[in-house]
Chains A and B, each alone.
Chain A
Amino acid sequence: MKSNNKGQIRIIEAFLAVLIIFSSFAVSANFTITRNATRRDDLASVGSQALLKLDSDGSLGKFIDDGNWTALRDALNILLPVGVCFNLTVYDDQMQQINTAVISNGGFSSQQIHFTEYICASQGTVFRCYIIHMHLAVAT
């Protein structure tokens, strides 16, 4: 009878060890999703929205009509979140580049560059249509 009970405590120990190891996996797996990962997403959408805001009162078209590239760059610099680099190219309806100066707030050092295209109609007395290509990246 006594010899039949031999080794039972080892089996219980083994079961307990397995239980603890699996619970450790379960708990640590849970830890991996308890951290915050704040992320600013979709730069193209942010860029489009900034252009849309400038266009809502006609100032985007006016900047282009007047060739006021400095003001356009400054306005985008204020509207876009801090740490976002942009480079803007303005074309006419024949896809000829209009901007004579670089409209940018710095060089792109990021690997991920986002692109957005925006079509703007000037609200001046003469109808003009502009195609704006905007590249954006997060400054690193």
Chain B
Amino acid sequence: MPAISVDTFFACSLMVLLVLSAMASTSKLLYPHINNTVNDSIAERCREISKYLLLSDGTPSNWGQNSQTIPETFGLAKAESDNPYELDIDKVSRLNSENLYAISYAQIFAALKMSDVSFCMEIRPIFEVAVNLTATYPSVNETIYQFEISTEKHGILVQAELKCYVVAENYLETSYLHVSNGRTYFNITLSNDVMGPALFVVLAKAVCNAKIVSFGVCPFAHNSAEPKPKSTFLKLSPLNYTLNASSVYPGINLSKAYALTINYNSTLTQTSSSNQSITYSLPHFLDPSPTLIVVTGWNSTVFFIEWTAYPQLPLQIGVRFTDLTALSNVFANTYAVTINSAVYGCTVWLGGPRE
């Protein structure tokens, strides 16, 4: 082959490669700006699928309550409910990976029976409650802790009524309902005889509608070392109004367990126990509120407090569409859903089929 032909061949190849790279880069950069005509039929299909997830109860219809049941068809609605978008508390709790009986995304994907659709679902309170310890005033007999409580939705303050609880070893203190304009300070006084760490629990309901609720939790040191992260000692799995508390380490002793809502609270009673786990019966509170479950115990000489919510929120399950390598358009649909009379926000992201 003459040298000139080789030169021409490489020159052409180089030019083509340059053109290819330029086209690829340009299309990647300009695609979000020029692609305004999203395929409506795919969007409509995704919307209907997201509604199906929230309006159908799946098969069997009580798959949430039985810890061993894997749904044949997937749906989160409460069985025999009269209200649309009312979800089953146990089906929702089984989507949370913290729950011992959680179903995996693969199991949901198989039950959905739509091989060309991937999804991500997030269920969380409609507004957030942020609790921060801002100051500590120790004295000889007692210590005063000052907390800043903010109730906001994406930075916008939400007027709310607050119910606060403080839990420590053999200690439960309840406050009266306290109205906040969105940001408030709350002082609690703990005797130095009380053993910590302690847990400050805030349940909030929006002033404009008592069914719009949220919660926040702040563990803090009191006569103790800094509290360990959640689920260090126990894995709490509420299901079918029964709490399973599984020990992470052997030799853990549980002392007291509480169920807290906005209007009610109760000390839980053990129903069974084994080496690794203890079960408690959870009361059916007639309260449009999540139930905060707090369990206290000892790991040899270390006192600890673990907590979870029932329904086990907030949760997110499914594909992470934020990855740039995802292969399709993503459609997000937002719904207000009801779980046990309380309203939560649910967002479903669906990756449609390739255009």
Contacts and interface: CB of A to CB of B under 8 A. Distances in A.
B16 A24 contact: yes
A23 to B, nearest CB: 8
B154 A79 contact: no
Contact of B126 (A25, A52, A71, A79): A79
B333 A40 contact: yes
Residue of B5, B343, B354 most packed against chain A (CB within 10 A): B343
A17 B32 contact: no
Given A24-B23, A40-B332, A35 B85 contact: no
Interface stretch (B6-14, B91-99, B267-275): B6-14
A7 B194 CA distance: 96
Contacts of A31: 24, 27-28
A53 B343 CA distance: 8
A134 to B, nearest CB: 14
Contact of A34 (B23, B325, B336): B325
Nearest to B126: A78
Nearest to A84: B334
Contact of B38 (A27, A37, A53): A37
B350 to A, nearest CB: 10
A21 interface: yes
Contacts of A119: none
Interface in A13-37: 13, 16-17, 20-21, 24-25, 27-28, 31-37
Contacts of A71: 207-209
B5 A82 contact: no
Interface stretch (A41-49, A87-95, A125-133): A41-49
B334 A46 contact: yes
Given A24-B23, A75-B208, A37 B334 contact: no
A81 interface: yes
Interface in B139-194: 153-154, 156, 158-159
A38 B38 CA distance: 10
A9 B336 CA distance: 68
For chain B, give the interface size range.
35 or more
Contacts of B24: 27-28, 31
A17 B338 CA distance: 61
B335 interface: yes
A34 B47 contact: no
A53 B321 CA distance: 29
A55 B27 CA distance: 47
A34 B327 contact: yes
Nearest to B343: A53
A41 B154 contact: no
Contacts of B153: 78, 82
B47 A78 contact: no
B324 interface: yes
A38 B349 contact: yes
Given A31-B24, A59-B209, A53 B35 contact: no
Interface of A: 9-10, 13, 16-17, 20-21, 24-25, 27-28, 31-42, 45-46, 49-50, 52-54, 56-57, 59, 71-72, 74-75, 77-79, 81-82
12 contacts: A16-B13, A20-B12, A24-B20, A28-B24, A31-B28, A34-B325, A38-B321, A53-B85, A71-B207, A74-B207, A78-B158, A79-B212
Interface of B: 1-2, 5, 8-9, 12-13, 16-17, 19-20, 23-24, 27-28, 31-32, 35, 38, 43, 46-47, 83-85, 126-127, 153-154, 156, 158-159, 206-209, 211-212, 321-322, 324-336, 338, 341, 343, 349, 354-355
